[in-house]
Structure 1
Amino acid sequence: MRQKISKISLVLILLLTHTNFTNACTIFMANDSKHVWIGNNEDESVNMKYRFWYFKKSKKNYGYMSWSELHPTYESIMYQYPQGGLNEYGLFMDYTAIDEIPVIRNFQKTDREKEVINDILRTCKTVDEALRYINGFNLIKLSAAQLFIGDATGDYATVHGNYIVRKTTPCFALTNYSINNNHTQHCWRRETAYHYLQKEKKFDLTDITQILSKTAQKPQPGDDIATNYSMAIDLKKQKIYLYLKRDYTRKIVISLSKQLKKNMFFEDLGNQLK
Protein backbone atom coordinates (compact mmCIF):
# COMPACT_ATOMS: atom_id res chain seq x y z
CA MET A 1 0.00 0.00 0.00
CA ARG A 2 2.82 2.44 0.85
CA GLN A 3 4.45 1.82 -2.51
CA LYS A 4 1.16 2.49 -4.30
CA ILE A 5 0.58 5.75 -2.41
CA SER A 6 4.14 6.87 -3.11
CA LYS A 7 3.70 6.30 -6.85
CA ILE A 8 0.44 8.21 -6.87
CA SER A 9 2.05 11.04 -4.92
CA LEU A 10 4.95 11.17 -7.38
CA VAL A 11 2.55 11.41 -10.32
CA LEU A 12 0.62 14.17 -8.56
CA ILE A 13 3.76 16.15 -7.78
CA LEU A 14 4.98 15.95 -11.37
CA LEU A 15 1.56 16.75 -12.81
CA LEU A 16 0.43 19.44 -10.43
CA THR A 17 3.74 21.23 -10.10
CA HIS A 18 3.55 21.69 -13.85
CA THR A 19 -0.07 22.75 -14.09
CA ASN A 20 0.02 25.12 -11.13
CA PHE A 21 2.92 27.15 -12.49
CA THR A 22 2.38 27.22 -16.27
CA ASN A 23 -0.43 29.74 -16.05
CA ALA A 24 -0.03 33.47 -16.62
CA CYS A 25 -1.60 35.78 -14.06
CA THR A 26 -1.81 39.39 -13.03
CA ILE A 27 -1.88 40.24 -9.32
CA PHE A 28 -1.96 43.76 -7.96
CA MET A 29 -2.50 45.56 -4.66
CA ALA A 30 -4.31 48.90 -4.54
CA ASN A 31 -3.81 50.58 -1.16
CA ASP A 32 -5.05 54.10 -0.39
CA SER A 33 -4.51 53.65 3.40
CA LYS A 34 -8.26 53.40 3.98
CA HIS A 35 -8.94 50.51 1.61
CA VAL A 36 -6.66 47.61 0.69
CA TRP A 37 -7.69 45.82 -2.50
CA ILE A 38 -6.26 42.85 -4.35
CA GLY A 39 -6.91 42.33 -8.03
CA ASN A 40 -6.22 38.89 -9.43
CA ASN A 41 -6.65 37.64 -13.02
CA GLU A 42 -6.31 33.87 -13.37
CA ASP A 43 -5.07 33.15 -16.90
CA GLU A 44 -4.98 29.57 -18.15
CA SER A 45 -6.38 27.31 -20.84
CA VAL A 46 -9.97 28.29 -21.56
CA ASN A 47 -11.02 24.68 -20.82
CA MET A 48 -9.68 24.71 -17.26
CA LYS A 49 -12.18 24.21 -14.42
CA TYR A 50 -11.78 25.34 -10.83
CA ARG A 51 -12.93 24.64 -7.29
CA PHE A 52 -13.16 26.87 -4.22
CA TRP A 53 -12.43 25.13 -0.92
CA TYR A 54 -13.61 26.29 2.53
CA PHE A 55 -12.00 25.40 5.86
CA LYS A 56 -13.76 26.38 9.07
CA LYS A 57 -12.07 27.95 12.05
CA SER A 58 -11.05 25.60 14.86
CA LYS A 59 -9.06 25.82 18.08
CA LYS A 60 -5.87 25.16 16.11
CA ASN A 61 -6.62 26.78 12.75
CA TYR A 62 -7.89 30.08 11.36
CA GLY A 63 -10.79 29.89 8.94
CA TYR A 64 -9.82 30.24 5.30
CA MET A 65 -10.62 29.44 1.70
CA SER A 66 -8.44 28.40 -1.21
CA TRP A 67 -8.87 27.90 -4.93
CA SER A 68 -7.43 25.22 -7.17
CA GLU A 69 -7.59 23.74 -10.61
CA LEU A 70 -10.07 20.88 -10.88
CA HIS A 71 -8.23 17.87 -12.25
CA PRO A 72 -10.90 15.21 -13.03
CA THR A 73 -8.86 12.24 -11.75
CA TYR A 74 -7.77 13.82 -8.47
CA GLU A 75 -10.54 16.33 -7.80
CA SER A 76 -11.14 15.22 -4.20
CA ILE A 77 -7.57 16.08 -3.12
CA MET A 78 -6.88 19.16 -5.24
CA TYR A 79 -7.13 21.30 -2.08
CA GLN A 80 -3.60 20.07 -1.36
CA TYR A 81 -2.40 21.93 -4.47
CA PRO A 82 -3.98 25.39 -4.22
CA GLN A 83 -3.31 28.23 -6.62
CA GLY A 84 -4.10 30.75 -3.90
CA GLY A 85 -6.26 31.57 -0.91
CA LEU A 86 -7.63 34.05 1.62
CA ASN A 87 -8.11 33.72 5.38
CA GLU A 88 -10.35 35.33 7.99
CA TYR A 89 -7.71 37.98 8.82
CA GLY A 90 -7.38 39.15 5.23
CA LEU A 91 -4.15 37.32 4.44
CA PHE A 92 -4.04 36.63 0.68
CA MET A 93 -1.75 34.43 -1.40
CA ASP A 94 -1.46 33.51 -5.09
CA TYR A 95 1.18 32.52 -7.65
CA THR A 96 2.47 33.92 -10.92
CA ALA A 97 4.59 31.75 -13.22
CA ILE A 98 8.11 32.81 -14.26
CA ASP A 99 11.01 31.25 -16.17
CA GLU A 100 12.60 28.64 -13.95
CA ILE A 101 15.39 29.69 -11.61
CA PRO A 102 16.92 26.66 -9.84
CA VAL A 103 16.58 26.87 -6.07
CA ILE A 104 19.84 26.98 -4.10
CA ARG A 105 19.50 24.94 -0.91
CA ASN A 106 20.52 26.19 2.51
CA PHE A 107 21.64 23.01 4.24
CA GLN A 108 20.72 24.42 7.63
CA LYS A 109 17.06 24.46 6.58
CA THR A 110 14.54 21.71 5.89
CA ASP A 111 13.56 20.97 2.28
CA ARG A 112 9.88 21.75 1.80
CA GLU A 113 8.17 19.74 -0.93
CA LYS A 114 4.63 20.12 0.40
CA GLU A 115 2.61 23.18 -0.61
CA VAL A 116 2.87 26.06 1.87
CA ILE A 117 -0.37 27.96 1.19
CA ASN A 118 -2.68 25.86 3.35
CA ASP A 119 -0.33 25.86 6.34
CA ILE A 120 0.26 29.60 6.14
CA LEU A 121 -3.41 30.53 5.79
CA ARG A 122 -4.45 28.45 8.76
CA THR A 123 -1.69 29.68 11.09
CA CYS A 124 -0.71 33.22 10.03
CA LYS A 125 -2.44 36.61 10.17
CA THR A 126 0.11 38.84 8.46
CA VAL A 127 2.84 38.91 5.86
CA ASP A 128 5.48 39.06 8.60
CA GLU A 129 4.12 35.90 10.21
CA ALA A 130 3.97 34.15 6.83
CA LEU A 131 7.59 35.02 6.09
CA ARG A 132 8.73 33.80 9.50
CA TYR A 133 7.02 30.49 8.75
CA ILE A 134 8.59 30.24 5.29
CA ASN A 135 12.04 31.14 6.61
CA GLY A 136 12.41 27.69 8.15
CA PHE A 137 12.36 25.92 4.78
CA ASN A 138 14.06 25.52 1.46
CA LEU A 139 11.14 26.05 -0.92
CA ILE A 140 12.60 23.63 -3.44
CA LYS A 141 9.40 23.45 -5.54
CA LEU A 142 9.17 27.23 -5.87
CA SER A 143 11.58 27.59 -8.78
CA ALA A 144 9.25 28.46 -11.69
CA ALA A 145 6.87 30.80 -9.90
CA GLN A 146 6.66 33.71 -7.48
CA LEU A 147 4.28 33.57 -4.53
CA PHE A 148 2.60 36.89 -3.76
CA ILE A 149 1.52 37.42 -0.14
CA GLY A 150 -0.53 40.43 0.95
CA ASP A 151 -2.43 41.33 4.11
CA ALA A 152 -5.15 43.68 5.30
CA THR A 153 -2.62 46.25 6.60
CA GLY A 154 -1.32 46.79 3.06
CA ASP A 155 1.91 44.88 3.58
CA TYR A 156 3.05 42.51 0.85
CA ALA A 157 5.95 40.37 -0.30
CA THR A 158 6.95 38.35 -3.35
CA VAL A 159 8.55 35.00 -2.58
CA HIS A 160 10.72 32.68 -4.70
CA GLY A 161 12.76 29.72 -3.50
CA ASN A 162 15.87 31.94 -3.72
CA TYR A 163 14.65 35.38 -2.70
CA ILE A 164 12.03 37.53 -0.99
CA VAL A 165 11.13 41.01 -2.27
CA ARG A 166 9.43 43.19 0.33
CA LYS A 167 7.04 46.12 0.03
CA THR A 168 8.47 49.38 -1.33
CA THR A 169 5.37 51.31 -2.47
CA PRO A 170 1.69 51.31 -1.35
CA CYS A 171 0.51 49.94 -4.72
CA PHE A 172 2.10 47.06 -6.55
CA ALA A 173 1.61 44.77 -9.56
CA LEU A 174 3.12 41.36 -10.35
CA THR A 175 3.02 39.31 -13.53
CA ASN A 176 5.23 36.68 -15.11
CA TYR A 177 8.87 37.64 -14.74
CA SER A 178 11.29 37.63 -11.83
CA ILE A 179 11.44 40.95 -9.95
CA ASN A 180 14.53 40.00 -7.97
CA ASN A 181 17.18 42.75 -7.65
CA ASN A 182 14.73 45.38 -8.99
CA HIS A 183 14.61 43.64 -12.37
CA THR A 184 11.96 44.90 -14.81
CA GLN A 185 11.08 44.00 -18.37
CA HIS A 186 8.32 44.83 -20.81
CA CYS A 187 4.94 43.34 -19.84
CA TRP A 188 1.80 45.08 -21.06
CA ARG A 189 -0.30 43.69 -18.20
CA ARG A 190 2.01 44.96 -15.44
CA GLU A 191 2.51 48.31 -17.19
CA THR A 192 -1.23 48.73 -17.67
CA ALA A 193 -1.93 47.92 -14.03
CA TYR A 194 0.65 50.47 -12.85
CA HIS A 195 -0.76 53.10 -15.20
CA TYR A 196 -4.17 52.91 -13.53
CA LEU A 197 -2.80 52.40 -10.02
CA GLN A 198 -0.80 55.61 -10.32
CA LYS A 199 -3.77 57.60 -11.65
CA GLU A 200 -6.00 57.08 -8.62
CA LYS A 201 -5.63 58.43 -5.08
CA LYS A 202 -8.59 56.45 -3.73
CA PHE A 203 -9.74 53.01 -4.79
CA ASP A 204 -13.18 51.45 -4.90
CA LEU A 205 -14.63 48.36 -6.57
CA THR A 206 -15.14 50.20 -9.86
CA ASP A 207 -11.46 51.09 -10.04
CA ILE A 208 -10.31 47.54 -9.30
CA THR A 209 -12.74 46.07 -11.81
CA GLN A 210 -11.48 48.48 -14.46
CA ILE A 211 -7.87 47.41 -13.93
CA LEU A 212 -8.89 43.75 -14.04
CA SER A 213 -10.70 44.38 -17.31
CA LYS A 214 -7.80 46.30 -18.84
CA THR A 215 -5.29 43.56 -17.94
CA ALA A 216 -7.46 40.58 -18.89
CA GLN A 217 -6.15 38.29 -21.61
CA LYS A 218 -8.37 37.21 -24.49
CA PRO A 219 -7.84 33.97 -26.46
CA GLN A 220 -5.62 34.48 -29.48
CA PRO A 221 -5.41 32.39 -32.68
CA GLY A 222 -3.28 29.35 -31.93
CA ASP A 223 -3.19 30.11 -28.18
CA ASP A 224 -5.99 29.14 -25.79
CA ILE A 225 -4.60 30.97 -22.74
CA ALA A 226 -7.08 33.57 -21.47
CA THR A 227 -8.45 35.09 -18.27
CA ASN A 228 -10.89 32.51 -16.93
CA TYR A 229 -11.84 34.41 -13.80
CA SER A 230 -11.00 37.63 -12.02
CA MET A 231 -11.17 38.58 -8.35
CA ALA A 232 -11.47 41.99 -6.75
CA ILE A 233 -10.79 41.35 -3.06
CA ASP A 234 -11.44 43.74 -0.19
CA LEU A 235 -8.86 42.44 2.27
CA LYS A 236 -10.18 44.36 5.28
CA LYS A 237 -13.67 42.92 4.81
CA GLN A 238 -12.51 39.55 3.43
CA LYS A 239 -14.98 39.92 0.59
CA ILE A 240 -14.41 38.70 -2.98
CA TYR A 241 -16.10 40.07 -6.09
CA LEU A 242 -15.74 37.33 -8.68
CA TYR A 243 -16.03 37.82 -12.46
CA LEU A 244 -16.16 34.89 -14.87
CA LYS A 245 -14.83 34.63 -18.41
CA ARG A 246 -13.98 38.34 -18.73
CA ASP A 247 -17.59 39.45 -18.17
CA TYR A 248 -17.20 42.45 -15.87
CA THR A 249 -20.87 43.41 -16.02
CA ARG A 250 -21.87 40.57 -13.67
CA LYS A 251 -20.26 39.66 -10.38
CA ILE A 252 -20.57 36.94 -7.78
CA VAL A 253 -20.05 38.25 -4.24
CA ILE A 254 -18.35 35.91 -1.77
CA SER A 255 -18.20 36.94 1.88
CA LEU A 256 -15.64 34.67 3.52
CA SER A 257 -17.19 35.02 6.98
CA LYS A 258 -20.60 33.96 5.64
CA GLN A 259 -19.18 31.09 3.61
CA LEU A 260 -17.34 29.71 6.63
CA LYS A 261 -20.61 29.54 8.57
CA LYS A 262 -22.18 27.28 5.94
CA ASN A 263 -21.96 23.51 5.98
CA MET A 264 -19.86 23.54 2.83
CA PHE A 265 -16.44 22.12 2.02
CA PHE A 266 -16.14 23.13 -1.63
CA GLU A 267 -17.88 24.86 -4.51
CA ASP A 268 -17.15 24.27 -8.20
CA LEU A 269 -16.89 27.03 -10.78
CA GLY A 270 -17.00 24.56 -13.67
CA ASN A 271 -20.64 24.98 -14.57
CA GLN A 272 -20.46 28.76 -14.27
CA LEU A 273 -17.42 28.94 -16.52
CA LYS A 274 -19.12 27.30 -19.51
Structure 2
Amino acid sequence: MNAPVAGSPASRAALAPLLRDVRAVVLDTDGVITDSARVHAAAWKTAFDAFLREHPPENLDLRRPFDLQDDYLRYVDGKSRIDGAAAFLASRGFASSDETVQAVAADKERLFTEQLREHGVDAYPGTVRLVRALRRAGVPVAAVSASRHARELLGHAGVLDLFDALVDGGEAAQLGLPGKPQPDLFLEAARRLGVPADRAAVVEDALAGVEAGRRGGFALVVGVDRTAGPDTAERLLRHGADIVVRDLGELLAGGTPT
Protein backbone atom coordinates (compact mmCIF):
# COMPACT_ATOMS: atom_id res chain seq x y z
CA MET A 1 0.00 0.00 0.00
CA ASN A 2 1.28 3.47 -0.85
CA ALA A 3 1.83 5.97 1.98
CA PRO A 4 -0.60 8.92 2.11
CA VAL A 5 0.57 11.94 0.11
CA ALA A 6 1.56 14.91 2.28
CA GLY A 7 -1.39 17.24 2.66
CA SER A 8 -3.91 14.71 1.36
CA PRO A 9 -7.26 14.13 3.10
CA ALA A 10 -5.97 10.74 4.21
CA SER A 11 -2.92 12.26 5.91
CA ARG A 12 -5.02 14.96 7.61
CA ALA A 13 -7.40 12.29 8.87
CA ALA A 14 -4.58 11.09 11.14
CA LEU A 15 -4.96 14.34 13.13
CA ALA A 16 -7.61 15.07 15.74
CA PRO A 17 -10.50 17.08 14.19
CA LEU A 18 -9.53 20.32 15.96
CA LEU A 19 -6.19 20.34 14.08
CA ARG A 20 -7.47 19.55 10.60
CA ASP A 21 -8.07 23.17 9.59
CA VAL A 22 -4.86 24.50 11.15
CA ARG A 23 -2.23 25.55 8.61
CA ALA A 24 0.83 25.64 10.92
CA VAL A 25 1.75 24.60 14.45
CA VAL A 26 4.21 26.34 16.79
CA LEU A 27 5.42 24.29 19.77
CA ASP A 28 7.31 25.39 22.86
CA THR A 29 10.43 23.31 23.48
CA ASP A 30 10.92 22.68 27.21
CA GLY A 31 8.16 20.46 28.57
CA VAL A 32 6.34 20.20 25.24
CA ILE A 33 8.91 18.74 22.84
CA THR A 34 11.67 17.69 25.23
CA ASP A 35 11.66 16.38 28.78
CA SER A 36 13.83 19.31 29.87
CA ALA A 37 11.43 21.36 32.00
CA ARG A 38 12.24 19.12 34.98
CA VAL A 39 15.97 19.85 34.49
CA HIS A 40 15.30 23.59 34.32
CA ALA A 41 13.11 23.38 37.44
CA ALA A 42 15.74 21.43 39.40
CA ALA A 43 18.45 23.92 38.43
CA TRP A 44 16.23 26.84 39.48
CA LYS A 45 15.50 25.16 42.82
CA THR A 46 19.18 24.65 43.61
CA ALA A 47 20.03 28.24 42.65
CA PHE A 48 17.11 29.87 44.47
CA ASP A 49 17.38 27.74 47.62
CA ALA A 50 21.09 28.59 47.90
CA PHE A 51 20.27 32.29 47.55
CA LEU A 52 17.54 32.11 50.21
CA ARG A 53 19.90 30.35 52.63
CA GLU A 54 22.52 33.06 52.14
CA HIS A 55 20.01 35.93 52.21
CA PRO A 56 17.06 34.81 54.39
CA PRO A 57 14.08 37.18 54.13
CA GLU A 58 12.99 38.91 57.34
CA ASN A 59 9.48 37.50 56.88
CA LEU A 60 9.66 33.88 58.02
CA ASP A 61 6.88 32.86 55.60
CA LEU A 62 9.05 33.95 52.68
CA ARG A 63 11.97 31.72 53.68
CA ARG A 64 10.31 28.56 52.39
CA PRO A 65 12.27 26.71 49.68
CA PHE A 66 11.46 27.07 45.99
CA ASP A 67 8.52 24.82 45.09
CA LEU A 68 9.24 22.71 42.02
CA GLN A 69 5.63 22.80 40.90
CA ASP A 70 3.86 25.96 42.03
CA ASP A 71 6.77 28.44 42.08
CA TYR A 72 8.19 27.07 38.84
CA LEU A 73 4.87 27.34 37.02
CA ARG A 74 3.97 30.71 38.52
CA TYR A 75 7.24 32.62 38.22
CA VAL A 76 9.79 31.11 35.84
CA ASP A 77 8.26 28.60 33.43
CA GLY A 78 8.34 29.89 29.86
CA LYS A 79 10.24 33.08 30.74
CA SER A 80 13.80 34.15 30.05
CA ARG A 81 16.32 33.44 32.80
CA ILE A 82 16.51 37.09 33.79
CA ASP A 83 12.75 37.60 33.86
CA GLY A 84 12.26 34.36 35.79
CA ALA A 85 14.91 35.17 38.37
CA ALA A 86 13.54 38.68 38.88
CA ALA A 87 9.95 37.47 39.23
CA PHE A 88 10.73 34.83 41.86
CA LEU A 89 13.01 37.09 43.90
CA ALA A 90 10.33 39.79 43.88
CA SER A 91 7.79 37.23 45.15
CA ARG A 92 10.05 36.65 48.18
CA GLY A 93 10.30 40.36 48.97
CA PHE A 94 13.60 41.21 47.32
CA ALA A 95 13.87 44.51 45.43
CA SER A 96 16.76 42.87 43.64
CA SER A 97 19.44 44.77 41.79
CA ASP A 98 20.36 43.82 38.25
CA GLU A 99 23.59 42.40 39.66
CA THR A 100 21.73 40.06 42.04
CA VAL A 101 19.31 38.88 39.36
CA GLN A 102 22.20 38.27 36.95
CA ALA A 103 24.11 36.29 39.58
CA VAL A 104 21.19 33.98 40.42
CA ALA A 105 20.38 33.52 36.72
CA ALA A 106 24.04 32.70 35.99
CA ASP A 107 24.09 30.11 38.79
CA LYS A 108 20.97 28.48 37.33
CA GLU A 109 22.54 28.52 33.84
CA ARG A 110 25.68 26.78 35.11
CA LEU A 111 23.67 24.09 36.90
CA PHE A 112 21.39 23.47 33.91
CA THR A 113 24.27 23.28 31.45
CA GLU A 114 26.13 20.78 33.63
CA GLN A 115 23.07 18.50 33.74
CA LEU A 116 22.40 18.86 30.03
CA ARG A 117 25.95 18.01 29.03
CA GLU A 118 26.15 15.09 31.45
CA HIS A 119 22.75 13.47 30.93
CA GLY A 120 21.07 15.00 27.85
CA VAL A 121 17.30 14.96 27.41
CA ASP A 122 14.73 12.94 25.50
CA ALA A 123 11.87 14.02 23.26
CA TYR A 124 8.38 12.99 24.33
CA PRO A 125 7.24 10.10 22.09
CA GLY A 126 3.70 11.51 21.77
CA THR A 127 5.10 14.83 20.55
CA VAL A 128 7.31 13.12 18.00
CA ARG A 129 4.35 11.13 16.68
CA LEU A 130 2.25 14.28 16.37
CA VAL A 131 4.97 16.30 14.62
CA ARG A 132 5.56 13.52 12.11
CA ALA A 133 1.80 13.28 11.46
CA LEU A 134 1.65 17.05 10.93
CA ARG A 135 4.52 16.89 8.45
CA ARG A 136 2.85 14.07 6.54
CA ALA A 137 -0.29 16.22 6.41
CA GLY A 138 1.70 19.08 4.90
CA VAL A 139 1.43 21.26 8.02
CA PRO A 140 4.68 23.18 8.73
CA VAL A 141 5.94 23.04 12.31
CA ALA A 142 8.14 25.42 14.31
CA ALA A 143 9.82 25.15 17.70
CA VAL A 144 10.22 28.14 20.01
CA SER A 145 11.92 28.64 23.36
CA ALA A 146 12.84 31.42 25.74
CA SER A 147 16.03 29.43 26.37
CA ARG A 148 19.24 29.84 24.41
CA HIS A 149 19.70 26.05 24.65
CA ALA A 150 16.81 25.04 22.39
CA ARG A 151 18.90 24.05 19.37
CA GLU A 152 21.21 22.01 21.58
CA LEU A 153 18.26 20.38 23.36
CA LEU A 154 16.53 19.40 20.12
CA GLY A 155 19.81 18.13 18.69
CA HIS A 156 20.53 16.00 21.78
CA ALA A 157 17.01 14.56 21.53
CA GLY A 158 17.48 13.75 17.83
CA VAL A 159 14.47 15.76 16.61
CA LEU A 160 15.97 19.03 15.33
CA ASP A 161 15.41 18.06 11.69
CA LEU A 162 11.66 17.60 12.29
CA PHE A 163 11.11 21.36 12.56
CA ASP A 164 10.82 23.81 9.69
CA ALA A 165 11.83 26.78 11.87
CA LEU A 166 13.29 27.46 15.31
CA VAL A 167 13.19 30.72 17.26
CA ASP A 168 15.14 30.51 20.51
CA GLY A 169 16.15 32.87 23.28
CA GLY A 170 19.34 33.91 21.51
CA GLU A 171 17.49 34.96 18.37
CA ALA A 172 14.80 36.66 20.43
CA ALA A 173 17.47 38.79 22.10
CA GLN A 174 19.07 39.68 18.76
CA LEU A 175 15.69 40.67 17.31
CA GLY A 176 14.65 42.57 20.44
CA LEU A 177 11.57 40.38 20.94
CA PRO A 178 9.94 40.75 24.37
CA GLY A 179 9.45 37.56 26.36
CA LYS A 180 6.26 35.74 27.22
CA PRO A 181 3.47 36.54 28.01
CA GLN A 182 3.99 38.86 25.04
CA PRO A 183 3.28 36.91 21.83
CA ASP A 184 6.25 38.11 19.76
CA LEU A 185 8.22 34.86 19.92
CA PHE A 186 5.27 32.87 18.55
CA LEU A 187 4.38 35.50 15.96
CA GLU A 188 7.96 35.44 14.63
CA ALA A 189 7.81 31.64 14.32
CA ALA A 190 4.48 31.81 12.45
CA ARG A 191 5.93 34.51 10.18
CA ARG A 192 8.85 32.22 9.29
CA LEU A 193 6.38 29.46 8.44
CA GLY A 194 4.48 31.88 6.20
CA VAL A 195 1.16 31.42 8.01
CA PRO A 196 -0.85 34.14 9.82
CA ALA A 197 -1.50 33.62 13.51
CA ASP A 198 -5.25 33.23 12.99
CA ARG A 199 -4.59 30.11 10.89
CA ALA A 200 -1.99 28.61 13.24
CA ALA A 201 -1.90 26.76 16.57
CA VAL A 202 0.34 27.25 19.60
CA VAL A 203 1.22 24.37 21.94
CA GLU A 204 2.53 25.37 25.40
CA ASP A 205 2.92 24.04 28.92
CA ALA A 206 3.62 27.37 30.64
CA LEU A 207 1.03 29.82 31.94
CA ALA A 208 2.95 32.69 30.34
CA GLY A 209 3.07 30.71 27.10
CA VAL A 210 -0.64 30.02 26.74
CA GLU A 211 -1.31 33.66 27.61
CA ALA A 212 1.09 34.68 24.84
CA GLY A 213 -0.72 32.45 22.36
CA ARG A 214 -4.05 34.00 23.30
CA ARG A 215 -2.66 37.55 23.06
CA GLY A 216 -1.21 36.74 19.63
CA GLY A 217 -4.61 35.87 18.19
CA PHE A 218 -3.73 32.27 17.32
CA ALA A 219 -6.54 30.08 16.04
CA LEU A 220 -5.92 27.39 18.65
CA VAL A 221 -3.96 27.41 21.92
CA VAL A 222 -3.23 23.97 23.36
CA GLY A 223 -2.09 23.70 26.97
CA VAL A 224 0.06 20.72 27.99
CA ASP A 225 -0.27 19.56 31.58
CA ARG A 226 2.63 17.20 32.29
CA THR A 227 2.44 17.55 36.08
CA ALA A 228 -1.28 16.82 36.51
CA GLY A 229 -1.35 19.02 39.60
CA PRO A 230 -4.65 19.59 41.41
CA ASP A 231 -5.42 22.78 39.47
CA THR A 232 -2.78 22.91 36.72
CA ALA A 233 -5.20 22.26 33.85
CA GLU A 234 -7.65 24.84 35.18
CA ARG A 235 -4.89 27.44 35.44
CA LEU A 236 -3.80 26.78 31.86
CA LEU A 237 -7.39 27.26 30.70
CA ARG A 238 -7.75 30.47 32.70
CA HIS A 239 -4.59 31.89 31.15
CA GLY A 240 -5.72 31.28 27.58
CA ALA A 241 -5.64 27.61 26.57
CA ASP A 242 -8.57 26.40 24.47
CA ILE A 243 -7.96 22.80 25.51
CA VAL A 244 -5.54 20.97 27.80
CA VAL A 245 -3.91 17.61 27.14
CA ARG A 246 -1.56 15.44 29.17
CA ASP A 247 0.33 14.21 26.11
CA LEU A 248 0.38 15.39 22.50
CA GLY A 249 -0.53 11.92 21.30
CA GLU A 250 -4.06 12.96 22.32
CA LEU A 251 -4.05 15.31 19.31
CA LEU A 252 -3.90 12.40 16.89
CA ALA A 253 -7.06 10.78 15.55
CA GLY A 254 -8.55 8.60 18.24
CA GLY A 255 -7.02 10.69 21.02
CA THR A 256 -9.13 12.23 23.75
CA PRO A 257 -8.19 15.90 24.26
CA THR A 258 -9.68 17.48 27.38
Tell me whether the two structures share a fold, i.e. TM-score over 0.5.
no
Higher helix share: 2
Higher strand share: 1
Quick check: which has more Rg, 1 or 2? 2
Report the TM-score, using the length of structure 2 for normalisation.
Answer: 0.28
